[in-house]
Structure 1
Amino acid sequence: MPRFDIYEASIEVDGVNLPEYNVTTDEETKTVTCWIPSEVEKCFVVNWEQSEPRSHLACSEITVDGSSVGGNVQDENECKRISKPGVATSLKTLRPFKFSSLELADDDDILDVRNVDGLGNIELEIWEVEETDEDDNEDQFSLALDDHAGKIHERSKKSMTQQVKFGDEIPINIEWEYCKELDYIQLLVTFIFKYRSIGILRAERIVPADLKTYGTKGKRKIDNISDTSQRGSLGGATKCEEENNLDSEEEEMAEKRLKALHEEIKSIEEKLAKKSSKPSARKKIKTELCSSLISGEVIDLTLL
Structure 2
Amino acid sequence: MILGDFSACIFVDGEELPEYDVVVSSTPTENRITCWIASDAGKKFGVRAKFLAQQTSGGLVTVLVDGNRCRSYVMPPGWIGTQEVTYLSNSYVRRHFMFSQLELTDDDSMLDDRSANDIGQIMMEVVQGKYVMNEQVVGSQNVSDRTLRVREGKVHERAKKACPHRVVFGEEVPDQSPASAFKIIPDNTPKTIFVFKYTRLDILQAMGVAPRTSIVADTETEIDDHNDDNEVMDGPDESLPSEDVKPLARIRELEMELQRLRAQVEDQKPSLVKLEHGGSRRKPAVMEVIDLTED
> Taking structure 2 as the reference length, what is the TM-score of the superposition?
0.63
Written as runs of structure 1 = structure 2, the 5 A alignment for 1:120-139 is 120-130=120-130, 131=132, 134-135=135-136, 137=138
Q: Which runs of 5+ in 1 are unaligned?
A: 213-304
In structure 2, distance between residues paired with 1:169 and 1:9? 26
Residue of structure 2 equivalent to 1:106? 106
Residue of structure 2 equivalent to 1:66? 67
Written as runs of structure 1 = structure 2, the 5 A alignment for 1:28-177 is 28=27, 29-88=30-89, 90-91=91-92, 93-130=93-130, 131=132, 134-135=135-136, 137=138, 145-170=148-173, 176-177=178-179
Change (3 A) 1:169 1:13: same
Greater RCO (Cα-Cα under 8 Å, separation 6 or more): 1
Change (3 A) 1:206 1:117: same
Matched position secondary structure for 2:8? strand
In structure 2, distance between residues paired with 1:143 and 1:204? 43
Percent identity between the aligned chains? 29
> Taking structure 1 as the reference length, what is the TM-score of the superposition?
0.62
Cα deviation for residue 134 of structure 1 reads: 2.1
The CA deviation string for residues 6-32 of structure 1, in whole angstroms up to 9 with x for no partner, is 111001110111110111111334100
Change (3 A) 1:68 1:88: closer
Change (3 A) 1:133 1:13: closer
- The ranges of structure 1 where at least 4 consecutive aligned residues each deviate by more than 4 angstroms after the TM superposition are 136-146
Cα deviation for residue 117 of structure 1 reads: 2.2
In structure 2, distance between residues paired with 1:139 and 1:14? 36
Contact 1:43/1:97 (8 A) holds in 2: yes
Change (3 A) 1:67 1:140: farther
> Which amino acid in 2 is paired with 1:176?
P
The CA deviation string for residues 204-241 of structure 1, in whole angstroms up to 9 with x for no partner, is 111112269xxxxxxxxxxxxxxxxxxxxxxxxxxxxx
In structure 2, distance between residues paired with 1:20 and 1:139? 41
Written as runs of structure 1 = structure 2, the 5 A alignment for 1:1-304 is 2-28=1-27, 29-88=30-89, 90-91=91-92, 93-130=93-130, 131=132, 134-135=135-136, 137=138, 145-170=148-173, 176-185=178-187, 186-210=189-213
Count, aligned residues: 209
Change (3 A) 1:140 1:121: farther
- Higher Cα Rg: structure 1 or 2? 2
Q: Which runs of 5+ in 2 are unaligned?
A: 216-295
